[in-house]
């Protein structure tokens, strides 16, 4: 059989995820872990039923794009600005602390200055995908928890993009100037999207909203259009998709659109978590592998405690601060992108890049366990905590 066929590959991924997911649910474990596990099992470093994952990763990226589109779809713009102001200092402060702690850890392992700095930069962020995937839709869209977490994650994404631009040599020498330029591009992108939605998208949706296929098609097209435009501006696809959703948020049809797109989002997110697992290669120095696993375990309580203290300082209640801290306690998919960019640019060692991958996946798994067991999520095994 030709296992390089995209149809066969997707069949292996979906059937394998369904089978392993069933076992995980019987064992009362989070199903996301099954998606990562099937990637490790059938990916290039496992049974090698799927030998190349680059094209799967590109398809999977659509899941993240749709996730951010749905987040923006029910978040009012004025609330976003308000929470950006509230969380900007918190986001920068925590990022610097996590980066500093990670830099010290890398230095103690014997990495040179350049690798240690890049390692620290990669470890600064929390996962947008894990954070938003594990929060109930009602909380994400209508509760303070979701609004604060979204603003922190989006601000982190902006910082991550700046770091990646700096690594690839596209930021020039002036980091602050580049950040201001990125912020300006974000504002311009938002203005264009809001203008377009007012004069084009909303009138069309009002005229043809009885045709569900058309509603689905035009909103998906709007999402992907602004994702592509954002990339052209030097921002990320995810930010463009978020702006596209935010621009439609004032429309009454926004909730209906969100419901239509959720199954599509889930399919592509399955591919994303598979790709994360498939990247993992345990075939390197056992000392560094164990060090990566240990640091991943340490990073969870370090991030949780730091975020808790910072949220308390900004005036949040102990209960809300604790929930936000636990939900933001993992590393980010941007950690993998920073490592990949630095590796491609020839400024990071293969060993350092592999450590970042192992740490990120360890924090993904542990953080998911903690969140699913303690707080409401759409994938909880408990009927009390299961909330969509």
DSSP 219-282: HHHHHHHHHHHHHHTTS-HHHHHHHHHHHHTTSTTHHHHHHHHHHHHHHHHHHHHHHHHHH---
Instruction: Specify the DSSP element, H or E, that contains 364.
Output: helix 350-374
pTM (two decimals): 0.81
Q: What is the pLDDT of residues 166-215, one digit of tens each?
A: 776 655 556 567 767 877 888 899 899 999 988 988 888 888 877 778 88
46: which 2 tokens? 């496992």
Lowest mean pLDDT among 57-66, 275-284, 330-339, 340-349: 275-284
Q: Best-predicted range by mean pLDDT among 6-15, 50-59, 83-92, 333-342?
A: 6-15
Euclidean distance between CA atoms 105 and 353, whole angstroms: 14
Instruction: Indicate the domain borders of the chain.
Output: 54-269+284-354
| Residue 292: closest CA among 241, 356, 346 | 356
User: What's the pLDDT band for 1 if we cut at 50, 70, 90?
Assistant: very low
Q: Which fold has domain 54-269+284-354?
A: Na+/H+ antiporter like fold (1.20.1530)
Encode pLDDT of 105-152 as tens digits.
Answer: 999 988 999 999 999 999 999 988 888 888 887 655 557 788 888 888
Upper half-sphere CA count for residue 208 (Cβ side, 13 Å):
12
Q: Write down the pLDDT at residue 122.
A: 92
């Amino acid at each position: 059989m030709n296992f390089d066929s995209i149809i066969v590959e997707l069949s292996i991924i979906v059937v394998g995820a369904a089978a392993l997911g069933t076992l995980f649910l019987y064992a009362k474990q989070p199903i996301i872990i099954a998606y990562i596990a099937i990637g490790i099992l059938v990916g290039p470093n496992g049974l090698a039923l799927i030998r190349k994952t680059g094209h799967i990763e590109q398809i999977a990226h659509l899941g993240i794009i749709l996730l951010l589109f749905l987040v923006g779809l029910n978040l009012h713009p004025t609330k976003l600005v308000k929470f950006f102001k509230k969380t900007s200092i918190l986001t920068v402060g925590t990022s610097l602390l996590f980066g500093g702690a990670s830099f010290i850890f890398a230095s103690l392992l014997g990495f040179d200055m350049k690798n240690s700095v890049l390692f620290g930069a990669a470890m600064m962020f929390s996962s947008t995908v894990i954070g938003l995937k594990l929060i109930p839709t009602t909380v994400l869209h209508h509760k303070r928890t979701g609004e604060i977490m979204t603003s922190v994650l989006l601000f982190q994404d902006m910082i991550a993009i700046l770091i990646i631009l700096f690594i690839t040599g596209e930021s020039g020498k002036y980091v602050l100037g580049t950040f201001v330029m990125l912020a300006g591009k974000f504002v311009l992108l938002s203005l264009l999207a809001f203008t377009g939605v007012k004069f084009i998208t909303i009138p069309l949706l009002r005229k043809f909203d009885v045709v569900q296929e058309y509603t689905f098609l035009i909103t998906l097209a709007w999402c992907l259009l602004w994702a592509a435009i954002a990339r052209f501006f030097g921002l990320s696809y995810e930010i463009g998709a978020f702006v596209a959703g935010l621009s439609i948020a004032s429309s009454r049809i926004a909730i209906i659109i969100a419901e239509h797109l959720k199954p599509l989002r889930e399919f592509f997110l399955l591919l994303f978590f598979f790709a994360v697992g498939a990247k993992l290669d345990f075939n390197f120095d056992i000392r560094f592998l164990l060090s990566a696993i240990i640091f991943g375990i340490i990073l969870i309580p370090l991030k949780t405690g730091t975020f808790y203290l910072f949220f308390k300082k900004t005036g949040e209640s102990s209960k809300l601060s604790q929930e936000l801290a636990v939900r933001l306690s993992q590393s980010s998919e941007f950690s993998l992108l920073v490592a990949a960019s630095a590796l491609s640019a020839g400024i990071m060692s293969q060993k350092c890049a592999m450590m970042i991958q192992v740490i990120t996946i360890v924090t993904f798994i542990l953080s998911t366990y903690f969140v699913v067991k303690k707080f409401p999520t759409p994938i909880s095994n408990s009927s009390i905590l299961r909330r969509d």
